[in-house]
Amino acid sequence: MVAPLNFKHFSTLSDREADNRIVAARAKLGKRAVILAHHYQRADTYRHADITGDSLKLSRLASQTEAEFILFCGVHFMAEVADILSRPNQISILPDLAAGCSMADMASLPKVTRCWHELTTLFDPDESVTPVTYINSAADLKAFCGEHGGIVCTSSNAPKILEWAFAQRQKVLFFPDQHLGRWSCFQMGIPMDEMVLWNPNLDMGGLSREQIEKAKIILWHGYCSVHQMFQPAQIEKFRAAHPAGRVISHPECSFDVCKASDVVGSTETIIRTVKDSPPGTRWIVGTELNLVDRLAQEVKAEDKIVEFMGGMICMCSTMQRIDPQHLAWCLENLVEGQVVNQISVPGHDAKLAKIALERMLSTS
């Protein structure tokens, strides 16, 4: 068997050289390979994508292609979802295995299992609690939800999924993003004092028996490091300078930022809302920098102004790891008949995770 090409020979390529080699390798592979790029992906890699969008959309569309190889320019949990939803003959690849998600890492299977066990001292969670995991989570947590009658949600369907979850059992355990869970429940009219924050590093999440028993939803102490940077003061400054301006934010932002925004929605909602707005509209956007910069250029011809909410450079640093050099390396290995950086979810986890994902798809 021929050994895979070593990445060290690609790491020193200039971006132009890497681009040329990507184009050449793709021409040789043809429809055998499909490149997916998330909205937050860096521009020099995003330009090579066959399909762009949010993580779930990309995985579903990739499974419908003829491609044998799915190269996911995103982060680890996205490539896992692609592997779970893909056909048996398709292979999911993450160009750089270091491309993770700090939010997803804030909830691990051992910590969630411990939480579930601690709840048994108060009641039977399998009778009283529906586990709901944001799609930004590891495959084994999706499997946990599949095993315990739970479900997966996205940033666009979270309120609808939570309605389903509450219809199954009295309470919800929502992880890993506290902000998406809190904002979604607020939209549903759930009182703030019925939302509690579970700190996995403390016994019983740092909560009293009374707090847990009163709670409608138990929110995991997790968050997105990018969206955590946005502050209400940035919105106040924008409104003072541009009274007619509009504010749109991702629901991974803090509750105060979401409440101060005119529109709150997923990446797809943000793009669609800004593009559908009248010419001359001015926006400040609370989400990842690459998406905002790309959107600003796309609507510039319509005299729309799109500004980034953050006062400093704020991008998904782990997704930035998927560069042209790694993409060229993966593609050229495929040309040579070698697969590198395959993401393969273990069969047991994949089966249970798919149950939770299919519950979501049938519900939303």
Q: Are residues 202 and 278 in the same domain?
A: no
Residue 314, pLDDT above cutoff 60:
no
The predicted structure's pLDDT at residue 321:
84
Percent of the chain with pLDDT over 90: 93
From 223, 251, 282, give the residue that closes a domain: 223
List the structure tokens of 182: 């809190």
Q: Looking at the domain assignment, is residue 1 inside a domain? A: no
Tell me, what's the pLDDT at 14?
96
Q: 102-122 in b/e burial notation, b at 16+ Cβ within 10 A?
A: bbbebbbeebbeebbebbeee
Rounded to the nearest 5 percent, the helix, strand and coil shares of the chain are 50, 15, 35
Residues 189, 240 share a domain: no
Question: What pairing do the DSSP bridges indicate for beta strands 342-343 and 91-93?
Answer: antiparallel
Distance CA 85, CA 99 (A): 20
Q: Which value, in Å, is the radius of gyration of the alpha carbons in the chain?
A: 21
At residue 65, the 3 state secondary structure works out as: coil
Of the pLDDT bands very low, low, confident and very high (cuts 50, 70, 90), residue 33 is very high
User: Tokens 């504010």, residue?
Assistant: 247
Say whether pLDDT at 333 is over 70. Answer: yes
pLDDT, greater one: 272 or 364: 272
Structure confidence by residue, pLDDT tens digits, 57-109 = 999 999 999 999 999 999 999 999 999 999 999 999 999 999 989 999 999 99
126-135 per-position pLDDT tens digit: 999 999 999 9
pLDDT > 80? residue 317: no
Domain-located, residue 91? yes
Distance CA 324, CA 15 (A): 6
Identify whether residues 70 and 113 lie together within a single domain.
no
Tens digits of residue pLDDT in 220-245? 999 998 999 999 999 999 999 999 99
- Residue 215: per-residue pLDDT: 98
Q: Are residues 161 and 247 in the same domain?
A: no
> Once rounded to an integer, what is the mean pLDDT over residues 335-351?
97
- Length of the chain equals 364
- What is the per-residue pLDDT for 316? 64
- Indicate whether 1 pLDDT > 90: no
For 329, the domain range is 7-100+318-346
Contact 41, 69 (CB under 8 A): no
Cis amide bond preceding 110, omega within 30:
no
For 110, left (φ over 0), alpha (ψ -120 to 50), or beta?
Answer: alpha
Helix axes 158-168, 347-363, angle to 10 degrees: 100
DSSP label at 41? Answer: S
Same-domain check for residues 281 and 218: no
What's the pLDDT band for 164 if we cut at 50, 70, 90? very high
Which tens digits make up the pLDDT trace of 261-304? 999 999 999 999 999 999 999 999 999 999 999 999 999 999 99
pLDDT confidence band for 345 (50 / 70 / 90): very high
- The vertex-262 CA angle with 261 and 267, nearest 5°, equals 80
Structure tokens at 165: 């979850």
Is there a single domain that holds both residue 238 and residue 219?
A: no
Q: For position 310, what pLDDT does the model report?
A: 83
Same domain, 329 and 246: no
Q: What is the pLDDT of residue 315?
A: 58
User: Is the same domain home to 108 and 217?
Assistant: yes
- List the structure tokens of 253: 């932002």
Cα–Cα nearest to 196, from 224, 184, 181: 181
Q: How far apart are CA 270 and CA 285, in angstroms?
A: 8
Number of domains forming the structure of the chain:
3
In a domain, 301, yes or no: yes
In a domain, 299, yes or no: yes
pLDDT over 90 (residue 311): no
Q: Is the pLDDT of residue 121 over 60?
A: yes
pLDDT at 338: 97
What per-residue confidence (pLDDT) applies to 48? Answer: 97
Please indicate, yes or no, whether residues 89 and 148 belong to a single structural domain of this protein.
no
Looking at the DSSP bridge assignments, the partners of residue 217 are 172, 195
CATH number of 279's domain: 3.40.50.10800
Task: Tell which residue, 21, 47, 38, has the closest CA to residue 328.
Answer: 21
Same domain as 196, residue 231: no
Is 354 within the bounds of a domain? Answer: no
Is the pLDDT at 2 greater than 80? The verdict is no
Q: Are residues 332 and 241 in the same domain?
A: no
Kindly report the average pLDDT of the chain as a whole number: 95
Put the strands of the sheet holding 151-153 in their side by side order: 151-153, 129-134, 171-175, 217-220, 195-198
Question: Are 120 and 214 within one domain?
Answer: yes
Contacts of 85 (CB under 8 A, 6+ apart): 59, 60, 63, 354, 357
